[in-house]
Amino acid sequence: MATLLIVEDNDLNRDMLSRRLARRGHSIVLACDGPEGLTKAYTTAPDLILMDMSLPVMDGWEVTRRLKRDPVTAGIPIIALTAHAMAEDKSTALLAGCDEFETKPIDFERLIDTVTRLLERRASGHHAGGNLA
Amino acid sequence: MHTASPHSPAPADRLAAGHPAPHILLVDDEEMNRDMLSRRLAKCGYSVTTAASGRESLDALERSHVDLVLLDVQMPGMSGLQVLEAIRGAEATARLPVIMVTAKTQSDDIVVALDRGANDYVTKPVDLSVALARIRTQLARRHAELRLVESEERYALAVQGSNDGLWDWKIATDEAYFSPRCKAIMGLDDEAASMTANAWFDRVHPDDFGRLRHALDGHLAGLTPQFENEHRVRVSDQQYRWVLARGVAVRGPDRAPVRVAGSLTDITEGKVADALTGLPNRVLFLDRLSWLLEREARDPERHFAVLFLDLDRFKDVNDSLGHHAGDQLLIEAARRLDRGLRGTDPASAARPRTATASHDVLARFGGDEFAIALDDVRTATEASRVAKRLVDVMLEPFHIDGQEIFISVSIGVALSTPGCTSEDLLRDADTALYRAKSAGRCRWEIFDGKMRDQVIERVKLEADLRHAVERGQFALLYQPIVSLADRTVKGFETLLRWDHPERGRIAPIDFIKVAEDTGLIVPMGLWVVDEVCRQIREWESTGVIAEQFTVSVNLSTRQLAQADLVDRVAAIVRHHGVQPTRLEFEITESAMMANPEVARRLVGDMKMLGFRISLDDFGTGYSSLSYLQHFAVDRLKIDRSFLTDATTPDWESHGIIAAVIALARHLRADVVAEGIETSSQLARVEALGCDFGQGYYFARPMRPKPVASLLEMALPPADVA
């Protein structure tokens, strides 16, 4: 069972994401805005982060950039969640250091596949960042 | 041999716009003729190479690309006729336009030359305007012929089937040809005459363009034998089609690609359909949804609903009967849902909606999840009618692999509202589905504002709960467990209370479920063990508790699944220096039966370390005696409902309590009756032979301080073992 950190400001979205991922046997940690997401990434050492990109206070891009800059958290795979299906968003997300990119409305089957794949990759130690934790 | 370049504007009869000047090979043994004619042809825009003999001309043909040959018939050595024969005999030049140049008097030669494949002739002295006219004609004919060959190549490259579009892209000029079918697939205007490849590339979905470019560049660079790529092309403002593009580059002598030609196949059908059920998939569903949303924006009078469906306990069927049976079940379920949606079920009346209800879409989202867009639905009642029919249509047993399977469906419904997005609708329908499942499955729920409020309430509670863990807003209360033999307190059950800063004290029933769902139960549970250990040490140091005294702590289903639970608990207990026998862990019968294997191992590990185990809420689950024998529990706690539930007749609860006691004796466990509130209830359980009692009749859950005074007061010397 992996610990997933969900950073999402919309109550209803957060509820659905956490409920559905918990049903797949994952342990869920929630954060409602950027700073909380950043803090939780350090305090709960999640195996993977699902990051909404349009967050209040500090947006998902900034949180991602900060996490990817720090060797301690750089190894945690991040899946960017965004409402826009535009190619620019995807490249921005990948440039910010996100490992994967999903657009809303979330395709859960695909999201689960992505989560599983990233967790497996992390478990086998193939992630470029290499988590020091 | 030498080559003259054109110095005048391009002639009208060039092979194609943008192409280099047509290249003419002029073969004549007389130098003066060669010079004069080549200069005049060059002035007219042709590129001319001259050859002084037959042999030289054949060399020139081998070395460079020639569009037309002007060939003198009478030459020393190899004659013009012999050269003609050689030209026609070689595969590369078999169809090359050749115009013979001959003296007027040599009519026999002309006949022979035409016989042997010359395309035309001019007579000496050459009349330039006649020569130019014939050259133009021959070049035009050759051009037409080449176009025919190109299109033959196109067909050769294209896969079978008239449904494929054909395309051809000349790289140097960026000229693109799209067959009518190709234009139709891409939504291009058929009238548009000349096009560039951008007519295609500009329509490619931004997410797919990178891959297309990559595949194409790879092939042009010679890395792949064939170009092949699947991508989406925009055919209208909001609509994309999936196409499969295939092609092969035609390369020049230097291997550089000159053209790429190939086919375009519309694979939207395959991309938007679910392979197992043939239903539209998520991609198509979202496409329809955005169409419906746009329509609602234009025409606010027309509404629709989104239904989210999920087969109840499908996973169990899949796990126990295998994937094949699971797939069969999904196919049949899809069929029934379709039938239920159409209302062709004779038992149900067609739903009273407009004739345009054909915009309904039933889609499979993957796994056992289905979604429906129900067009022209205005009220919750209308949506309910359809939802009911869908629930009903699943009630009949399924016959899969000779087995009869019962499976039901739960449905969440969200009605469209002005300005909502597909994301909102799917999420709200999902929330309603979750509600339907929690309410007992095989039913439907319609999302409303109240549900939204409840979700937000729950989410707030969740956030508060997380803070509560961090800020230590929890407290423990202790409820005495009393020996019925001598009415002395033999232990306590620990109960968790949450002192919410704004809402006051909150009972476990209002937050344990949220704590379980969020996993917060794990840190909370460890905190409880830590606090209980600290309290036990405090009581021990003041000497208020006897040696046999136990304190029990509840473990939830989620905690049972916590892999390191035993280690963590053991570490805490060791840290405080508490005797493990002081601690009893209560596991509900249903939690234990939810995953008997895990529970059995956990109980075994706990017992090994010296902890006591009791089965809580006993009698409500369906555990069998044979199962219980494997668990080696120390105590059974009879569920309070057998004492307090007025709907259970006395004789029935009486029988159950007696049976539980008999079972406990068999398992060498003792029995606690919970929820004793009155003296008559006490008398009943006492008469049946219960060992211990717990309930308001004896004491409510208490704070640690009154507990200490209670223990001090009840500390007759006899009670100390």
The tens digit of pLDDT for each residue in B14-55 reads 444 445 789 999 999 988 888 988 999 998 889 999 999 999
Q: What integer pLDDT is reported at residue B563 of this predicted model?
A: 83
The more confidently predicted of residues B524 and B103 is: B524
pLDDT at B409: 95
Query: B403-407, B426-430, B653-657: which range is least confident on average?
Result: B653-657
Residue B570: pLDDT band by 50, 70, 90 thresholds? very high
Per residue in B99-140, pLDDT (tens digit) is 999 876 777 787 788 888 888 888 888 888 888 888 988 888
Mean pLDDT of B405-428: 92
Predicted local confidence at residue B137, as pLDDT = 83
How high is the pLDDT of residue B5?
54
* Cβ-based contacts of A22 with chain B (< 8 Å): 517-519
CB contact, 8 Å: B523 with chain A?
Answer: no
Contact A109 B365 (CB under 8 A): yes
- Residue B669: C-alpha distances to residues B34, B348, B353, B684 (Å): 121, 56, 64, 20
Range with lowest mean pLDDT among A102-111, B15-24, B216-225:
B15-24
Chain A residues in contact with B367 by the CB 8 A cut-off are 109
> What does B163-195 look like in DSSP terms, one character per residue?
T-EEEEEETTTTEEEE-HHHHHHHT--TT--SE
Q: Is the pLDDT of residue A75 over 60?
A: yes
pLDDT of B272 higher than 90: no
N- to C-terminal Cα separation, chain B:
127
Q: Which residue in chain A is spatially nearest to B453 when comparing CA positions?
A: A12
Determine the residue of chain B that is closest to A28 in CA distance.
Answer: B518
CA-to-CA separations, A99 to A65, A88, B644, in angstroms, rounded = 12, 15, 56
Domains and CATH numbers, chain A: 3-122 (3.40.50.2300)
Instruction: State whether residue B517 sits within 8 Å of chain A by CB.
Output: yes
CB-based contact A87 B210, cutoff 8 Å: yes
Q: Which of B3-12, B269-278, B345-354, B392-401 has the lowest mean pLDDT?
A: B345-354
pTM reported for the whole predicted model: 0.55
pLDDT of A85 over the 70 cut: no
Q: Given a cut of 70, is residue A39 above it in pLDDT? A: yes
Alpha helices in B190-281 (DSSP H): 198-201, 206-220, 268-272
What is chain B's mean pLDDT, rounded? 84
pLDDT for B109: 80
ipTM over 0.90: no
Q: Which two tokens stand for residue A50?
A: 């699902």
- SS3 string, B128-155, reads HHHHHHHHHHHHHHHHHHHHHHHHHHHH
Q: Which of B104-113, B567-576, B658-667 has the highest mean pLDDT?
A: B567-576
Is pLDDT at B192 greater than 70 in this prediction? no
Residues of B in contact with A30 (CB under 8 A): 462-463, 466, 518
| Band (B624; pLDDT cuts 50, 70, 90) | low
Q: Do A15 and B466 touch (CB under 8 A)?
A: no
CB of A13 within 8 Å of any CB in chain B? Answer: yes
Residue-level pLDDT at B415: 95
A28 CB neighbours in chain B (<8 A) are: 518-519
Q: How far is B312 from chain A (nearest CA, A)?
A: 14
* Of B369, B452, B519, Cβ closest to residue A12: B452
List of residues 6+ apart from B428 with CB closer than 8 A: A12, B306, B412, B414, B447, B451, B452
Phi, psi (rounded to 5 degrees) for B202:
-65, -20
Q: Least CB-CB distance to A27: which of B452, B459, B519? A: B519
- Indicate the pLDDT class of residue A87, thresholds 50, 70 and 90: low
In contact, B264 and B186? CB cutoff 8 Å:
yes
Q: Is the pLDDT of residue B248 over 90?
A: no
pLDDT tier for residue B416 given thresholds of 50, 70 and 90: very high
Chain A residues in contact with B458 by the CB 8 A cut-off are 15
* B167 pLDDT above the threshold of 90: no
User: Is the pLDDT assigned to residue A115 strictly greater than 70?
Assistant: yes
Contacts of A90 in chain B (CB under 8 A): 207
> What confidence score (pLDDT) does residue B350 get?
46
CA distance B562 to B568: 10
> In this prediction, what percent of chain B has a pLDDT beyond 90?
34
Rounded to a whole number, what is the distance in Å from the CA of A22 to chain B's nearest CA? Answer: 7
From B447's Cα to the closest Cα of chain A, the distance in A is 12
Contact (CB<8Å) B427/A16: yes
pLDDT given for residue B533 in this prediction: 97
